[in-house]
A and B are shown apart, each in its own frame.
Chain A
Amino acid sequence: MRPGPAPLADAVTSTAGRRGAEGTPSGVPSPAPTGRHARTRPRPGALRAAAGLAPFAVYLLIFLAAPTVIAVATGFTTADGTPTMANITALADPVIIATFTNSLWLSALTAVLGALIGAAVCLSLLALPEDGAVRRSVDAASGVLAQFGGVMLAFAFIATIGIQGLITVGLRDGFGIDIFADGTWIYELPGLILPYLYFQVPLMVITFMPALGALRQTWVEAVLTLGGTTGVFWRRVALPVLAPSFLASTLLLFANAFSSYATAAALSSQGSAIVPLQIRAALTSETVLGRENLAGALALGMLAVMAVVMSLYALMQRRASRWQ
C-alpha cells in the first residue's frame, strides 16, 4: 500500500467491516487490513455486486460462447441433429485440404511481406520527430487502412488492377504490358495478395511501432563505448531485442489474413479459393461435396489454426514484454 491513499482505504474498510458484522453472519473481522487485502475481502452486498456481473456474463454466454459451441457442435451432427463424424472426415477431402493450403499460404505470404514492409515504415518513422506532422498522419492513416479491409477495398483494387483499372489500362496503353496475359487473376487467389497487403502493412505499423519504444539511445552509446559500430548495434542488440515483437506482430498479421472474409467475398462472388469462402458456400447451402453441416467442420478447422497461432502469439508477446 502506498502511503497516500491509506487513510481513505482504512476509513472505508472499517465502516465496511462494521456493517459486515451486522449484515452477514460470516463477516470477517478486520485485523488492521493492508490495502490489497481489504479490497479483495468479501464486503457487504457482495452478492448484490456479483449480480451486477450477471448481465454481461449472460450476454457473453449467448453471443460469444453459444455461437462458438454451436459452430463447433454442428460439425459433429447431421442436419437433423444425429451425431456423425462424416463432416470431420470430410476435412480430409482433397478439395478442402487444397482450400486450407490456399488460406495458409496466402496468410503466411501476406503476413511476412506485410511485416517486412510495415517494419521498414516503423524504423523510418524513428528518424522523424515523434510529434511531427508525418508521424501523426501515418498513425491516423494506418488506423483507417487497417480497418479498410472489405467491400470498399475490393472496389479500390478493381478500380486499380481490374480489367478497366487505372494501372491495367495505363500499362496496356502506355507500355504494351498486359497484366492479365495469363488470365484474369484479380478475381482468383493471386488477386488477393495486393489487397491483403493493403491492410496488413498498416496493421503491422500499428502493432510494431510501440515495440520500437524499447530501443534506447543509451544502448547505442554503450555499444559505441565498447568499441562497436552502429551496424553492430542494429545487428547484435536491436535485432535480438525486437525479434520477439516482430514475430508476435507477424503472427497477428497471419491471424488477421486467415480470418479475413469480406475482401475475398467481394472480389470473387463465386469461387471458394479460401476457407472463409468455402464456409460461405456451405452456409448458403450450395452443396459442398454433397455434405450438410460442413460449415461447422470448416469452422472447427479454422478455430484449430487460430488457436495455434494465437497461443504462439501470446508466447512471443510474453518474451517481448521483457523489453517494454
Chain B
Amino acid sequence: MAVTSPAPVAPAVPSGARPRRRTAGPSRPAPRTATAVITLSLIAAAFAIPLISMLEFSLRTADGHGLDHWIALFSPETAGRYSVIWTGLGNSLILALVTVAIVLLLLAPTMLLVTLRFPRLRRTMELLCLLPLSLPAIVLVVGLVPIYLGIGRSLGTGAWTLAFAYGVTVIPYAYRAIQSNIDAVDVVTLSEAARTLGAGWLSVVLRVLVPNLRRGLLAACLISVAVVLGEFTIASLLNRSTLQTALFVVNKQDPYAAVILSLLSLAFAYVLLVLIGRVGGPRRGPRRRRDRATS
C-alpha cells in the first residue's frame, strides 16, 4: 500500500480527457461478471439463513409445521395475552410522530435559518448535528437518567417524553437528508427572489422553500420513523414501554410471537427504506448526473 503514493497517477488523467467510446465497456473498472455474481450469491445466501430460520421457527408447531402461531397472534381470543405488544407499538408510533415533529419544527427551521441568515455557522451546525453519531446511546443514557427524573416530575412518565432523547439520536440522519437537499437547491437565491417579489418570511418558508425541500424533508421523516421504531437501548434503560422493549418481554413468554413480529417489522422497515430510495435518494441524484458527465 505504501509502495505507491497515489500522486503520480493524477497527471495521467488530465481533467479534460474524456473517453471517446460512449457505449463500449463499463464506465467504471469492475471485476469479471461471473466472479461478481458468485461472490454476491454466496454472501446473499449467508445473509438469508437467519431470515429463513426465523420464518421456519415461526411455523413450528407441536407436530411439524403450520400457521398456528401466526393465527394465534392475530385472533381476538388471545388479544389479551399480547396486549403489551400493542401498547408498545402504540407508544412507538406516538414517539415516531413526536420525533418527526421535532425534526420538522425544530431541526429543519434552524437549518434554514442558518443557511439564509447565518452561513458562517454552517460548519458549527454540521459538527453539532453529526456529534450524536460518535456518542453511544448507552453513554447518553447514563446522563439522561437524572434528566428524565426531572422530566418525570414535571411532564409525567408518559412514553412520549422519550421523543426528546430520540430526537438527538435521529438528528445526524435527518440532518444529512435535509442538508443534501438544501445543497442541491439554491435556497438563498430562491428566498431572496421571493422576498424581492414581496413575500413575507412565512410564505417564503411555506410556499417556496418547503415545496422545494420536500424530498429531503420526507426522507428525513422516514429515516426518523425507522430509527425510532428500532430503538431499544434508551427505552429499556429508562423503563419505558416501546415496540422493542415489548418484543423483549413477550419473547420470554411466547418466543413465536416475538419472532413473527420481528419478521413483520423487518418487512415494514424494508418497505420504508425502499420508499426513502424512491422519494429522495438525495445523494443519488447529483451523483448520477456527474457520472453521466464523465462517461
- Enumerate chain B residues within 8 angstroms of A280, measured Cβ to Cβ: 138, 237
A83 to chain B, nearest CB (A): 17
* A71 close to chain B: CB less than 8 A: yes
Please choose the segment from B74-82, B89-97, B251-259 that sits at the chain A interface, where 4 or more of its residues have CB less than 8 A away: B251-259
Instruction: State whether the Cβ of A84 lies closer than 8 Å to any Cβ in chain B.
Output: no
Q: Is the CB of A160 within 8 A of B165?
A: no
B270→A265 contact, CB < 8 A: no
Q: A302 contacts which of B47, B138, B270 (Cβ < 8 Å)?
A: B138
Closest A residue, CB atoms, query B57: A159
Q: CA separation between A136 and B276, bound complex, in Å?
A: 12
**B4 with A240: CB separation less than 8 A:** yes
Size of chain B's interface in residues, with CB distance under 8 A? 105
Which residues in A have their C-beta under 8 angstroms from that of B236?
262, 265
CB <8 Å contact, A71 and B1: no
Please give the number of chain A residues whose Cβ is less than 8 angstroms from any Cβ of chain B in the complex: 110
Which residues of A does B touch, CB under 8 Å? 4-5, 8-9, 11-12, 39-40, 43, 46, 49-50, 52-53, 55-56, 59-60, 62-64, 66-72, 74, 117, 120-121, 123-128, 130, 134, 136, 138-141, 143-145, 147-148, 150-152, 155-160, 165-167, 198, 201, 210, 212-213, 215-223, 226, 230, 233-234, 236-241, 243, 255, 258-259, 261-262, 265-266, 276, 279-280, 283-284, 295-296, 299, 302-303, 306-307, 309-310, 322-323
Listed in ascending order, the chain B residues whose CB lies under 8 Å from chain A are 1, 3-6, 9, 12-13, 17-19, 25-33, 35-37, 39-40, 43, 47, 49-54, 56-57, 102, 106-107, 109-110, 113-114, 117-121, 128, 131-147, 164-165, 167-168, 186, 188-189, 192-193, 195-196, 226-227, 230, 232-233, 236-237, 244, 247-248, 251, 255, 258-259, 262, 265-266, 269-270, 273-274, 276-277, 283, 287-288, 291, 294-295
**In the A-B complex, the 8 residue pairs with the closest CB atoms:** A67-B143, A259-B136, A71-B143, A127-B36, A124-B36, A70-B143, A152-B262, A126-B30
- A-B CB contact pairs (8 Å), 13 listed: A123-B36, A127-B31, A141-B270, A143-B276, A144-B270, A152-B244, A155-B258, A217-B29, A221-B19, A233-B29, A241-B9, A276-B138, A302-B139
